[in-house]
Amino acid sequence: MLNQVVAHVRANVVAYLALFLALGVGTAWALERNSVKSKHIAPDAVRASDIDFGVRSQVMLATFNNLGSGTDGGINMGPVGVSGMGGVNEMFVPQTFIATGLRINLEEPLPAGTREFWLRYYDYDAQDDVDTELRCEIETGEQRCQSNARARVPAGTTLWFEAANTNTINADYAEVGWRAVLP
C-alpha cells in the first residue's frame, strides 16, 4: 500500500513539475513586442486583408463634387473633406504612412464611359508627381469601385486624388473612403 501511495505522489509531483516548467519556461520563449521585423517576413506574405487596422490607422473620408463629363486628363481632388473644382486640393503629409482600403461610391451608376480615381503625391526632392498603386475605375453601369493596394506615402510630400473621365455624359458626385496606416 505504501508503494502505491509513493508512486501516486511521485506521478503527481512529476505532472505538476512538468506543468510548472511548461508555464514558466514556455512564456520565456514567447516573442517580445515588436521583435518581428520586415526582414523576418517573406515577400508578399502579408496582405491588406491580414492586417488588423486597429489604433494604428485612421479612416479618411472625402467627397468630390463636379467631377465633370466628357473626357479630361484629370481633376485634382482633396484626399479628405469636401473637394470640387477650384478648391484646395492638396494635403501636406507630416509623417510617412501607408495608404490603403480605397472605396469610391458615386451618387448613381455611371450611364456611360469610365471614371478612374488614384492617389498621387508630389515628391519635392525629385520635383515630380508620383502616381501610386492605390487606384480604381468605375465603368458604365457601375456605381462603386475599391482597391486594397498599399501605397507608401513619404513624409514631407503633398497628397491628392486624381479623378479622370473618359466619355462620361454627366457631372457626378463621389463619396471616398480610404485608410492611413502607420508603418
Residues 67-92 have pLDDT tens digits of: 888 888 788 899 998 887 766 678 89
Contact (Cβ atoms closer than 8 angstroms) between residue 63 and residue 174: yes
**Which positions ≥6 away from 86 have C-beta within 8 Å?**
none
Q: Is this prediction's pTM over 0.85? A: no
CATH number belonging to the domain at 55-181, selected among 2.40.340.10, 3.40.50.2020, 2.60.120.40, 3.40.50.12500: 2.60.120.40
Is 98 a residue whose pLDDT tops 80? yes
The 10s digit of each residue's pLDDT in 109-126 is 999 999 999 999 999 988
- Domain definitions of the chain by residue range: 55-181
**Residues linked to residue 166 through DSSP beta bridges, in sequence order:** 114
